[in-house]
Structure 1
Amino acid sequence: MKKRATVICRRGKRILLVSRSQSKWALPGGIRKRGEPMLEAALRELREETRLSGKSAKYLFDIRGKQKHHHVFACEIPSQAKARPSSEIARCRWVHVDDIARLLTSGPTTDIVKLVNRRRK
């Protein structure tokens, strides 16, 4: 099972989602490079996909999907920073947590967002 660094970026009640063209919405992240610490993989993937430089990332939890083992990190993003799709993704946008259930997302994305919201209450 592949290990994936997955990143939750929040601004109030909004969460950053990304998508490749013709693909489901997902949380930023990706497969870690050989020997790369998961925290660094999370920040690298966020930068590669959205051009955002996370100030810091905090490990939250692990969750196993059908094909990937997600290591989930919360990342602080400066409020004035703009997410812009890179060559890896076609779109990125801030979505209100209540609207995520209405979007076509990857299974793990929905599960991770629910877990994060439960922990915040």
Structure 2
Amino acid sequence: MCASQTPLPTDRPIAGVLAAVIRDNKVLLVRRANRPDAGRWVFPGGKVEKGEPLLDAAMRELREETGVLGKGLKILSAVDAFDKNADGEVEQHFILIVTLCQYLGGSLKAGDDAVDARWVELDQLRTLDLARSFDLAELVRQAAQMMGKPQR
């Protein structure tokens, strides 16, 4: 492909990771500052850097957005997240790889592009304004099940 045909970065999906951390029947969520899903609650996460393994990217984003240290256990799922304009046209397409993570420590504090971070009781998810670009509640259920904590 010649240089004039090289697609712009937004013409192709952007790879990102999400860190699903379940601890004491609670899930770690952040309120996003940026699109997609600005102002909504979601797992901590962000873009994968060139040459960065997925689990490493998830642990870096977890630490940057929440101050929490974790250990990446495995890939849980992958979801599409579409950032659409007012006319419903896709402006950006993200492929988000959801990683299951074990909590190791750290002090919870929102950072990077998170405006808030908190541990949320699993049975309180329905009271929050969750991400709408994918089914976050279902992913929380799967993560909790894999960590041995059935969701109510």
TM-score with structure 1 setting the length: 0.83
Equivalent AA in structure 1 for residue 96 of structure 2: H
Q: Which has the higher strand share?
A: 2
For residue 8 of structure 1, report the CA deviation from its aligned partner. Answer: 0.6
56-65 or 96-105: which moved more?
56-65
34-43 or 62-71: which moved more?
62-71
Conservation of the 8 A alpha-carbon contact between 1:43 and 1:57: no
CA distance in 1, matches of 2:111, 2:143: 26
Choose which of 106, 110, 130 in structure 2 pairs with 1:105.
130
Computed over aligned residues only, the root mean square deviation of the Cα atoms, in angstroms, reads 2.1
Map 1:81-92 → 2, pairs under 5 A: 81-92=106-117
- Percent identical across equivalent pairs? 28
**Greater C-alpha Rg:** 2
In structure 1, stretches of 5+ residues that fail to align are none
For residue 62 of structure 1, report the CA deviation from its aligned partner. Answer: 1.8
SS in 2 for 1:54: strand
Equivalent AA in structure 2 for residue 110 of structure 1: A
2:102 match: 76
CA distance in 2, matches of 1:116, 1:11: 11
2:15 match: 3
Map 1:41-80 → 2, pairs under 5 A: 41-66=57-82, 67-78=93-104
For residue 10 of structure 1, report the CA deviation from its aligned partner. Answer: 0.8
CA distance in 2, matches of 1:118, 1:58: 14
6-15 or 109-118: which moved more?
109-118
Figure out how many residues of one structure are paired with residues of the other and give that number: 120
For residue 117 of structure 1, report the CA deviation from its aligned partner. Answer: 4.2
TM-score with structure 2 setting the length: 0.68
2:40 match: 24
CA distance in 1, matches of 2:80, 2:17: 12
In structure 2, stretches of 5+ residues that fail to align are 1-12, 83-92
